[in-house]
A = this chain, B = another copy of it.
Amino acid sequence: MLLSDMSKPQLCEFKKTEQKKFNEYKAMGLSLNMARGKPCSEQLDLTLGLLDAVHSDSSLLASDGTDVRNYGVLDGLPRAKKMFAQMLGVDPSEVIVGGNSSLNMMYDTVVRNILFGSDGESLPWGKLDRIKWLCPSPGYDRHFAICQSLGIEMITVPMLSTGPDMDMVESLVESDDAIKGIWCVPMYSNPTGITYSDETVRRFAALNPRAKDFRIFWDNAYCIHHLTDTPDKLLNIFDELKANGKEDMIYIFASTSKISFPGAGVAAMAASKKNIDYILSKMTIQTIGPDKINQLRHVKFFGGYDGLTEHMKKHTEVIAPRFRAVTDALEKYIKPLGIGSWHTPNGGYFISFDSLNGCAKRIVSLCKEAGVVLTAAGATYPYGNDPDDKNIRIAPTFPSIEELKTAVKIFCTAVRLASAEKLLED
Of the residues B41, B104, B290, B291, contact of A286 by C-beta under 8 Å: B104
Q: Bound state CA distance, A114 and B56, in angstroms?
A: 42
Q: Bound state CA distance, A384 and B221, in angstroms?
A: 42
Is the CB of A160 closer than 8 A to any CB of chain B? no
Residue of B nearest to A101 (CB): B287
Of the residues B60, B70, B263, B292, contact of A72 by C-beta under 8 Å: B263
Of the residues B100, B111, B114, B126, contact of A99 by C-beta under 8 Å: B100
From A143-151, A176-184, A416-424, the one touching the partner chain is: A143-151
Is the CB of A27 closer than 8 A to any CB of chain B? no
A393, chain B: closest CB distance, angstroms: 16
Inter-chain contact B52/A56, CB cutoff 8 Å? yes
Inter-chain contact A264/B292, CB cutoff 8 Å? yes
Contacts of A294 in B (CB 8 A): 264, 291, 294
From A17-25, A43-51, A130-138, A360-368, the one touching the partner chain is: A43-51
Of the residues B73, B115, B282, contact of A114 by C-beta under 8 Å: B115
Is the CB of A262 closer than 8 A to any CB of chain B? yes
Inter-chain contact A69/B264, CB cutoff 8 Å? yes
Residue of B nearest to A265 (CB): B291
Inter-chain contact A263/B70, CB cutoff 8 Å? yes
A262-288: which residues lie under 8 A (CB-CB) from chain B?
A: 262-264, 282, 285-288
Contacts of A262 in B (CB 8 A): 69-71, 288
Given A71-B263, A264-B293, A292-B264, A107 and B287 touching (CB < 8 A)? Answer: yes
Inter-chain contact B51/A56, CB cutoff 8 Å? yes
Most buried by B among A52, A100, A257, A294: A100
Q: Bound state CA distance, A277 and B387, in angstroms?
A: 32
Given A39-B70, A71-B36, A111-B115, A285 and B146 touching (CB < 8 A)? Answer: yes
Of the residues B51, B99, B107, B286, contact of A54 by C-beta under 8 Å: B51
Contacts of A44 in B (CB 8 A): 60, 67, 69-70
Inter-chain contact B52/A261, CB cutoff 8 Å? no
Q: Bound state CA distance, A38 and B288, in angstroms?
A: 11
Q: Bound state CA distance, A285 and B71, in angstroms?
A: 28
How many chain A residues touch B (CB < 8 A): the figure is 53
Residue of B nearest to A151 (CB): B115
Inter-chain contact A145/B69, CB cutoff 8 Å? no
Q: Bound state CA distance, A41 and B52, in angstroms?
A: 22
A317, chain B: closest CB distance, angstroms: 19
Is the CB of A63 closer than 8 A to any CB of chain B? no
A225-260: which residues lie under 8 A (CB-CB) from chain B?
A: 257
Q: Bound state CA distance, A102 and B115, in angstroms?
A: 21
Contacts of A52 in B (CB 8 A): 55-56
Q: Bound state CA distance, A286 and B147, in angstroms?
A: 11
Contacts of A99 in B (CB 8 A): 99-100, 291
Q: Bound state CA distance, A39 and B126, in angstroms?
A: 39
Residue of B nearest to A54 (CB): B51
Residue of B nearest to A50 (CB): B56
Most buried by B among A38, A56, A150: A56
Is the CB of A103 closer than 8 A to any CB of chain B? yes
Inter-chain contact A107/B286, CB cutoff 8 Å? yes
Q: Bound state CA distance, A209 and B42, in angstroms?
A: 54
Inter-chain contact A38/B286, CB cutoff 8 Å? no
Inter-chain contact B104/A287, CB cutoff 8 Å? yes
Most buried by B among A58, A126, A142, A286: A286
Q: Bound state CA distance, A277 and B126, in angstroms?
A: 25
Contacts of A101 in B (CB 8 A): 287-289
Residue of B nearest to A148 (CB): B285
